[in-house]
Amino acid sequence: MRLREVFRYELGYRLRSPSTWSYAAFLFLLMGWGLVATAGDSAAAVHVNSPEEVAQGTVLFGGLFGLLVSAALFGDAAIRDVAAGMDPFLYTTRLRKTEYLGGRFLAALAVNAIVVLAIPLGFWVATLTPLVEAEALGPNRLAAYLQPLLLFLLPNLVLVGAILFTIGSVARQVIPVYLGAAGIFIGYMVVADDWSRIESPMLSALADPLGINALQAMHRYWTPSELQIRLIGFPAMLVWNRVLWLAIAAGVLAVLHRRFRFTHADGGGRRRRRRRISRAAIDTLMEWRGPMDLPQAAAVFGLRTRVRQTLAVARQSLAEVMSGRAFPVAFAGAIGLILLWGWNAPDTAFDTPTWPVTRLVVSTVLAARSVLIPWLVIAVYAGELVWKDREVGAAEIADAAPVPTGIALLGRFLALVGIIVAFHAAFLAGGILLQILQGYYKFELGLYLRVLFGLNLVANVLLGALAMTVHVLVNQKYVGQILVLMACLLSLLAGMKGLPYLAVYNSGPGWTYSDMNGFGPFLGPYVWFKLYWAAWALLLLVIAVLFWVRGREPGVRRRIARARARLRGTTLRMAGVAAALILALGGFVFYNTKVLNEDPPRNEVGRPQAEYERRYGRFEDAPQPVLTAADLRLEVHPGEPAVDMRGGYRLVNRSGVSLDSVHVVLDRNVEVRSISLDRAARPAVVDEETGYRIFELERALEPGGSLRLSFDLAFRPRGFRSRGIQTAVVGNGTYFDRRWLPFIGYQPRFELSDDAARKRFGLGPQPRLPGPGDAEARRRDTSLRNEGRVQFEAIVGTAADQTAVVTGLLRRSWTENGRRYVHYGADGPVPFGPAVFSARYAVREDRWRDVELQIFHHPEHGYNVDRMLAGMKASLDYYTKVFGPYQFRQLRVVEIPPYSVNGRALVTTIVFGEQNFITRAGEGRVDHTFFGTAHEVAHSWWGGQVRGAHARGNDLLSEALSNYSAMMVTEKVLGPEQARRVYDFQMDRYLSKRAEFESDVPLLEVEEHPHIAYGKGAVALYTLREHLGEEVLNGVLRRFVEKHRAGGPPYPTSRDLLAELRAVTPGSMQYLLTDLFETITLWDVETRRAVAARTAGGRYEVTLDVVAKKLRADSVGRETETPMNDFVEIGVFAPGTGDGLGAPLYLKRHRVRSGKQTIRVTVPREPARAGVDPWRKLIDRDREDNMADVETGATAAPRS
């Protein structure tokens, strides 16, 4: 009866409370908005409301914010009695612990469960609104919404609620509850990493308290079609997991029940509304000896007083906050979090860690991953600062003191800034500690300070201003905190959703730090936007002053009246100043970003390209003269930044008909000072919007005739941009290619490629790239028209302290007029694609036979240069031996800032982003630098000497072969063990990325699927090598190079390579080519049982029960079984150390059929593990079941 009463009372109280419904509204809106924000990506393969997406969205996103709401609800349920002072009454009734705690907890749980319904509801309603594109939606199924709710959200609520309620009841304060919620979140993230390493699937399924990892693991290898329609259902393991954790929740509550006592809190810092119980102070009698003389202290009010009052308020507020028990815990927690989150931040490919350089720590760990901490700190502590006086009952005393409202606010704001600074100091400590623990000591304190106490501090202080204002306006602490968090989230996501930065508080362009170029071109725009928002922050603080609650009139109308009354004097002046600054700075920013530069709204992006196609697309195949030679003179001014380009093209008419016009396409960002032909011509079309020009010749150009196009162009960006900040020409680390130089004739590559955008502008879908069997396709090796192999000479000038590098061969370098000049050229005609680099480089030079090797790198990045050189030499060694000679006399590596590509191979030049220079490899571990270098060098053959036709499957000839070649070099130099690790990585890359793409294609037809080209390609070729033998495969490749080295149409396609491979593959293995290249084939092999019996001669006979299956998938992932009769390795291994396999006792290929089969082998020693495909070479989504532990027994009867 009493339990029911407690339950009903609490339920009624909470349901009547507006904050409960505001939490529900918050979650509802958050889900809806989250869905709308992420649904814009038209590349998504699955419907945004497929069961998988619904599950992920509600459980992860909703669960995360639901945690905050739970902290508020359960925390309030636990401490309200004590906070209100009602506990002495409650504890002295007949109420028992079970009834009290049980009733409160159940009611809080019920309310929270009702609020949690807002999560799937918000998701569902969002799908009904027109804000989500209809074609991104599938049918809404009730089960898709219900299952995650029942399986994850509600049980997690019980667990989380039990923990938070216990914390609240024991601590009797609210901040520990928030800390508990943060701890749950953080703890979960931390453990999530370890969780994936648990071998046993049962243990790993059970060990997951919130079930989220289990959910993600379930989805990991699903195909697009599965993700589209398959419901999660109620898998047995997950249900047991829920039962287990519900039991643990009950355990937590049992602990609470034991610990809880109906007693007055014994001096634990318990707050009372009117008096503090001071334990230690012994009351002394006020000695009164007749009339007293009160000290005469005159009060002075002037500017100095104001300053001191402000500082006093600040100091006092800060001390109050920092002296609470929660603060040091939160502080230490922040440091701990940095360590935990950042520990594996420096990992890149192949598990190869990079050095935890400060840049990496600062940008990924501190700026990106840990952004939640400052938000929480600001939201919670701003509330504390605004509410503290009222909560302890000191408000009326403080309000009646002669402290102007503005100073009361300013002092508190300064205290908040102090708290933010303190947490940034924690970040600094965490970052440095992280580096020390990983053995890296170049701390670059200057960089830390600039980022943490410069850029980030400014952003967080602005948020602090907003937080204080929100808390002042919204007269409810918990609701205020939630609103502040929403505002933080919004400001972060403004960028993603394309909202204008001038309209969303504290938003603005981000920054990328580069070791070479510092904050480069990003600092200016960032600072200007922050100044603009600082003006707004000033206005916000003025508003906070106006609405500051002083005294006892919290009603809305009264506050508005008071606000109006307060708008005088200094406050009015401040408001005026703020408004003026907003207009001035806003105007300046607007002028720069919208007037001097283009920043079209989201749905206008792409219009120029659309117009280009619409107006001039018909000229696509019009005959035009071909570019055969170019001479260029480029003046690079890194400091401005600007590039002046002058030069000329030699155009030859190879079309066979006479030409009466020359079409020229120029980049729209380029200023055209002059462009002309060397004969009479009329500029018939000068279209500035699209950059298209048509010169009509007075006299037609006969076949075989040539003419010269001269041009004088400039790339001189003006002002600054907020989006698409140009990073090509920067202070140190300039890198640009030929895109600013003129193109001859209509170029299809500049058309709009985004399907959604094309539809918006009324263009049909782009025609697909032709297939590898298409004869037409062989005529071209690129989409570029009217350019073949080009002879070029380029003179590039740059600042005196920088070195310019151009793809090609260096002719000479000199200094002139205080600038450095270089002259590069190409000996024979090469594809015309000069890339220009300019930076303050250090150069390392070496030789390999008669090839000059150079590495142009940032002087500080020298520690991997040796490894790169080793890679270059080893690659040249192997490739020259196997594929044929390297066709140039120079090979260089140039380092660029991390703004554009990570690695690219150009003519004679390999471009590497900074990241590659800071990898760190342990002894004998796979080295990304080495592998990457080998891969790029391989491109000189695959893509350089051999140019594939511009058709689907082209990447097989360039990327897959380069990856395979790099794997071969790795094997030769670092050993087969390392090559195996690379193989595993490529396999995982292929399998795990399959789900992200709309369609799946066979290797032969690969087109823009990196995971197939790089991942599956490497796997396929390596597998082929295993079966055919290295000699045979390499022989095919060598002949392929010889055949196509000369170039010129017809260009080879993937089918040509396949044909060559077929020619050398024995009949029994032809199936491999079909499986690996022509189809999408997956295997599924499993060893059900492995039994060993000792034979008479002391040997062991091992019997394996193997089940095998081969599946063919179509482009959307539907699978059908196909008969299998393939060569698969069978292996038996001796006991090994740890989890690894021991020495192989038996390793041979057997024929494995579809279905069940028994395989018997004999081994000389006692085996430990045995099975099929031990080295996981088959493309199998579940490779854990390939091997089984061997059971040793007497003769084991084979089971079928």
Q: Is 285 in the site for other proteins (CB under 8 A)?
A: yes
Tell me the number of residues near other proteins by CB under 8 A.
Answer: 42
Q: Dihedral sign, CA of 81, 87, 93, 95?
A: positive
Q: Is 552 in the site for other proteins (CB under 8 A)?
A: no
State the nearest-atom distance from the C-beta of 277 to other proteins, in Å: 8
Query: What Rg, from alpha-carbon coordinates, does the chain have?
Result: 35
Site for other proteins (CB under 8 A): which residue of 15, 41, 43, 89? 89
In sequence order, what are the residues at sequence separation of 6 or more whose Cβ sits closer than 8 angstroms to the Cβ of residue 172?
A: 78, 79, 82, 265, 268, 270
Q: Is 258 in the site for other proteins (CB under 8 A)?
A: no
Q: Tokens 């508020």: give the residue.
A: 72
Q: Is 235 in the site for other proteins (CB under 8 A)?
A: no
Segment 325 to 384, residues that bind other proteins, using CB under 8 A: none
Q: Is 96 in the site for other proteins (CB under 8 A)?
A: yes
Task: Give whichever of 76 and 914 is closer to other proteins, judged by the CB atom.
Answer: 76
Q: Is 193 in the site for other proteins (CB under 8 A)?
A: no
Site for other proteins (CB under 8 A): which residue of 41, 43, 93, 239? 93
Q: Is 294 in the site for other proteins (CB under 8 A)?
A: no
Q: How do beta strands 1080-1094 and 909-913 pair?
A: unpaired
Q: What angle do CA 241, 245, 246 make, to 5 degrees?
A: 115
Site for other proteins (CB under 8 A): which residue of 258, 274, 304, 557? 274
Spatial distance between the Cα atoms of 902 and 916, rounded to a whole number of angstroms: 8
| Helix axes of 477-497 and 456-473: crossing angle, nearest 10 degrees | 140
State the nearest-atom distance from the C-beta of 925 to other proteins, in Å: 56
Task: Give whichever of 171 and 926 is closer to other proteins, judged by the CB atom.
Answer: 171
Determine the length of the chain: 1200
Site for other proteins (CB under 8 A): which residue of 197, 275, 304, 568? 275
Q: Is 266 in the site for other proteins (CB under 8 A)?
A: yes
CA dihedral 407, 409, 413, 418 (to 10 degrees): 60
Q: Is 290 in the site for other proteins (CB under 8 A)?
A: yes
Q: Is 439 in the site for other proteins (CB under 8 A)?
A: no
- Assign 3-state DSSP to the chain and report helix, strand, coil percentages, each to 5: 50, 20, 30
Helix (H/G/I), strand (E/B), else coil: 1101: strand
Read off the tokens for 267. 């001096």
Which helix H or strand E contains 114, and what residues bound it? Answer: helix 97-116
* 141-149, 267-275, 546-554, 783-791 -> range binding other proteins (CB under 8 A): 267-275
Q: Is 91 in the site for other proteins (CB under 8 A)?
A: yes
* 77-85, 155-163, 1099-1107, 1190-1198 -> range binding other proteins (CB under 8 A): 77-85
Q: Is 1 in the site for other proteins (CB under 8 A)?
A: yes
Site for other proteins (CB under 8 A): which residue of 259, 273, 552, 749? 273
Helix (H/G/I), strand (E/B), else coil: 1055: helix
State the nearest-atom distance from the C-beta of 151 to other proteins, in Å: 36
Task: Give whichever of 19 and 354 is closer to other proteins, judged by the CB atom.
Answer: 19
Q: Is 281 in the site for other proteins (CB under 8 A)?
A: yes
Q: Is 264 in the site for other proteins (CB under 8 A)?
A: yes
Task: Give whichever of 197 and 279 is closer to other proteins, judged by the CB atom.
Answer: 279
Q: Is 287 in the site for other proteins (CB under 8 A)?
A: no
State the nearest-atom distance from the C-beta of 13 to other proteins, in Å: 7
Q: How do beta strands 1144-1153 and 1125-1133 pair?
A: antiparallel
Q: Is 88 in the site for other proteins (CB under 8 A)?
A: yes
Site for other proteins (CB under 8 A): which residue of 67, 73, 95, 416? 95
Site for other proteins (CB under 8 A): which residue of 187, 235, 251, 267? 267
* 145-153, 181-189, 220-228, 287-295 -> range binding other proteins (CB under 8 A): 287-295
Spatial distance between the Cα atoms of 383 and 19, rounded to a whole number of angstroms: 15
Spatial distance between the Cα atoms of 357 and 432, rounded to a whole number of angstroms: 10
Segment 2 to 31, residues that bind other proteins, using CB under 8 A: 2, 5-6, 9, 13, 16-17
| Helix axes of 63-84 and 175-195: crossing angle, nearest 10 degrees | 150
* 272-280, 697-705, 1052-1060, 1066-1074 -> range binding other proteins (CB under 8 A): 272-280
Q: Count Cβ atoms below 10 Å from residue 747 Cβ, excluding itself.
A: 19
Site for other proteins (CB under 8 A): which residue of 92, 817, 1120, 1200? 92
Q: Is 236 in the site for other proteins (CB under 8 A)?
A: no
* 86-94, 446-454, 868-876, 1152-1160 -> range binding other proteins (CB under 8 A): 86-94
Task: Give whichever of 8 and 1160 is closer to other proteins, judged by the CB atom.
Answer: 8
167, 180 Cβ separation under 8 angstroms: yes
Task: Give whichever of 90 and 843 is closer to other proteins, judged by the CB atom.
Answer: 90
Spatial distance between the Cα atoms of 391 and 398, rounded to a whole number of angstroms: 12
Spatial distance between the Cα atoms of 685 and 665, rounded to a whole number of angstroms: 11
886, 851 Cβ separation under 8 angstroms: yes
* 256-264, 357-365, 513-521, 926-934 -> range binding other proteins (CB under 8 A): 256-264
Q: Is 263 in the site for other proteins (CB under 8 A)?
A: yes
State the nearest-atom distance from the C-beta of 397 to other proteins, in Å: 17
Spatial distance between the Cα atoms of 381 and 331, rounded to a whole number of angstroms: 13
Task: Give whichever of 17 and 669 is closer to other proteins, judged by the CB atom.
Answer: 17
State the nearest-atom distance from the C-beta of 554 to other proteins, in Å: 11
Site for other proteins (CB under 8 A): which residue of 85, 269, 600, 1136? 85
Here's the x/- map for other proteins, 31-70, by CB under 8 A: it reads as ----------------------------------------
Task: Give whichever of 276 and 881 is closer to other proteins, judged by the CB atom.
Answer: 276
At position 293, the amino acid (one-letter code) is D
Task: Give whichever of 16 and 197 is closer to other proteins, judged by the CB atom.
Answer: 16
Phi, psi angles (nearest 5°) of residue 597: -125, 170
Q: Is 762 in the site for other proteins (CB under 8 A)?
A: no
* 24-32, 258-266, 951-959, 1010-1018 -> range binding other proteins (CB under 8 A): 258-266
- Would you list the DSSP string of 183-217? HHHHHHHHHHHHHTT---HHHHHHT-SSSHHHHHH
- Would you list the DSSP string of 4-50? HHHHHHHHHHHHT-HHHHHHHHHHHHHHHHHHHHHTT-TT-SS-TTS
Site for other proteins (CB under 8 A): which residue of 134, 142, 258, 279? 279
Site for other proteins (CB under 8 A): which residue of 21, 222, 262, 588? 262
State the nearest-atom distance from the C-beta of 415 to other proteins, in Å: 28
Phi, psi angles (nearest 5°) of residue 912: -130, 135
Q: How do beta strands 1187-1193 and 1080-1094 pair?
A: parallel
* 260-268, 448-456, 530-538, 765-773 -> range binding other proteins (CB under 8 A): 260-268
* 79-87, 492-500, 524-532, 617-625 -> range binding other proteins (CB under 8 A): 79-87
Beta strands in 408-484 (DSSP E): none
Q: What angle do CA 115, 118, 124 make, to 5 degrees?
A: 165
In sequence order, what are the residues at sequence separation of 6 or more whose Cβ sits closer than 8 angstroms to the Cβ of residue 368?
A: none
Here the contacts of 447-455 (C-beta below 8 Å, separation 24 or greater) are: 447/358, 447/359, 447/362, 447/513, 448/358, 448/362, 450/519, 451/362, 451/363, 451/366, 451/367, 451/513, 452/362, 452/366, 452/424, 452/427, 452/428, 453/421, 453/424, 455/511, 455/519, 455/526
- First and final CA of the chain: distance in angstroms? 62
The residues of the shown chain that bind other proteins, judged by CB under 8 A, are 1-2, 5-6, 9, 13, 16-17, 80-81, 84-86, 88-96, 262-264, 266-267, 272-275, 277, 279-283, 285, 288-291
